[in-house]
Amino acid sequence: MRPAPARADGAFPNSESIFTPEGLPHDIVLATNFGVVRSTDDGTTWIWACEQAADLNASSYQLAPAPSYRIFAVAFDSVTGNSTHLAYSDNSACDWAISTGLVDGTSVRDEFADPTNPNRVLALTSIPVDGGMGTDEVVESSDGGATFTTLRFTAGPGDTITGVEIARSAPQTVYLTIRNIVMTGSTSTTTPILMQSTNGGTSWTKHDLSSMLPGNKSIRLVAVDPSDAQKVFLRVSTGTDEGLALTTNGGATVTTPLAIRV
């Protein structure tokens, strides 16, 4: 028997991320552009349990660890039409609630759930500024993403935070990637920066990577090695070149083992 077509609620189907929850060895969670689908039998069958609200328009899905397995997503704000919320669901994306606290009045761009603690979540927000670029911040929740009460980092002038991640093997170690852009006349200079905290975000060490990643490169976080908190993989880009950069000492030095010319 031929499989039936997947129509994706009328949208062109596209997958975004995939999760395999620890403690649920047969479960696979697939985030798509039309919601979340789930398999509980190693991928043999899949269920789209609930049709999400049409205006949720979610992306950047994350999954909290056991026992909550809460699903997080950056959700489009249908009221303002120009900002985003952090939404969370406890029933396989059937129903969603909106996070509150320091994320209120901001545009949420990304989030990261602590892989060892279901109560700890970091959110990357941008605070709107009239007539200019917003100010990026990283805020923390200690109640599973319901409310954000602690400010962990505020970006400086010209800084755009492009990623945040907590190290699995050392959860007090947190990394941020930053793209700093300075305009001189009509010429822009981009500086790639990796920030590291070893005390949960109370203080930070700044690593300017421009001398090791020359050529106006911007960076994004790919992953922190799950067993080595000092080993971080970065995506580097100039717009015409792409590459994978690696640090094994928390950002003190960086190499580029893979470079791709687009």
- Condensed to tens digits (0 to 9), the pLDDT of residues 36-45 reads 888 999 999 9
Report residue 257 as tokens: 């083992």
Q: Give yes or no for a contact between 62 and 73, defined as CB atoms under 8 angstroms apart.
A: yes
Matching CATH number, 8-154, of 3.40.50.300, 2.130.10.10, 1.25.40.390, 1.10.10.60: 2.130.10.10
| Confidence band, pLDDT 50/70/90 cuts, at residue 33 | confident
Q: What is the pLDDT of residues 56-74, one digit of tens each?
A: 678 889 999 999 999 999 9
Lowest-confidence segment of 10-14, 43-47, 74-78 by average pLDDT: 10-14
Question: CB under 8 Å to 112, separation ≥6 — which residues?
Answer: 62, 121, 122, 164, 165, 166
Q: Give yes or no for a contact between 86 and 103, defined as CB atoms under 8 angstroms apart.
A: yes
For residue 153, the tally of other CB atoms under 10 A from its CB is 21
Q: Give yes or no for a contact between 81 and 70, defined as CB atoms under 8 angstroms apart.
A: no
Mean of the pLDDT values across residues 79-106?
85
Bridge partners of 189, per DSSP, are 182
Report residue 120 as tokens: 């700890």
Domain ranges of the chain: 8-154
